[in-house]
Amino acid sequence: MRKTRVWITAQTELCEGICSLWIKDAEMAREAKPGQFLSLYCEDGSRLLPRPVSICEIRPEEGLLRMVYRVAGAGTEEFSHLSAGDGLEVLGTLGNGYELREGSALLLGGGIGIPPMLALAKALCEKNGKEQVTAVLGYRDANTFLAEAFAPYAQVVIATEDGSVGVRGNVLDAVREKGICAEQIYACGPKPMLRGVKAYAREAGLPAQISLEERMACGIGACLACVCESTKPGEHTHVNNVRICKDGPVFDAEEVEL
């Protein structure tokens, strides 16, 4: 983990309010794992805290990392105006990523929880083969950003809340409608979705790794701003909580209370 100034190689808007940002840093690209994130610092000195953004793609041979984020406030609005050649202060790589396991995998991504699943899909494809990976992606409407990028690495199923593309409903509606089966589940998305994934995995008797979304401050576990309740006491704290930024953001679904 280190803080450094990186250089932007490209930035594009995938759809309204969703941006794709590529940065170049050989060391971070070598170290990065699916499920980890970076903390991005604003140039505006009035915004002291960094913004955590998940890693979407990893290209270690080129020294490149991709982040796909939603413009949700002043900080991300500032990032959205950057372009190739601009510099950016970054702290990373941060957090614990997904454990890549043998066997068939069901990847469930909802909204801005979809981007980190792309790096995971690629890694699992390389490990177990594309036929072992199914990605079910959930969107609000027909703005299905990144969906086509999953095609080389997974069988792709799309769900939309308004039914404009794919299955009408959420990712679990699509899993049930399509009769999708797998030996393990990986998920990232809003808490209500993850709560449903945890219940589904428990009912099906499947192991599930989930990545939690939470507002963060320091990003390194010092400030305790992103604590969530755990099912058993922490090894160091001896209380039932974990730090999402430091102990996660990826957890076994049975380790955390949702």
pLDDT value at position 221? 76
Residue listed under structure tokens 């994934």: 197
pLDDT value at position 234? 67
Give the C-alpha separation, 48 to 64, whole Å.
26
Residue listed under structure tokens 């006491």: 233
Assess whether 104 and 46 both reside in one domain. no
Question: Which structure tokens are listed for 36?
Answer: 């980890």
pLDDT in tens, 103-129: 999 999 999 999 999 999 999 999 999
Q: Total domain count for the chain?
A: 3
Q: Which of these three, 79, 94, 109, is where a domain ends?
A: 94
3-class SS at 245? helix
Instruction: Evaluate the omega torsion of the peptide bond into residue 249 and state whether it is cis, within 30 degrees of 0.
Output: yes
pLDDT in tens, 171-209: 999 999 999 999 999 999 999 999 999 999 999 999 999
At a CB cut-off of 8 Å and minimum separation 6, what does 192 contact?
Answer: none
Q: What is the CATH number of the domain that holds 218?
A: 2.10.240.10
pLDDT in tens, 44-60: 888 888 999 999 999 99
pLDDT value at position 6? 97
The answer to whether the beta carbons of residues 75 and 51 sit under 8 Å apart is: yes
Give the C-alpha separation, 166 to 153, whole Å.
19
Q: pTM for the whole thing?
A: 0.94
Owning domain of residue 249: 214-258
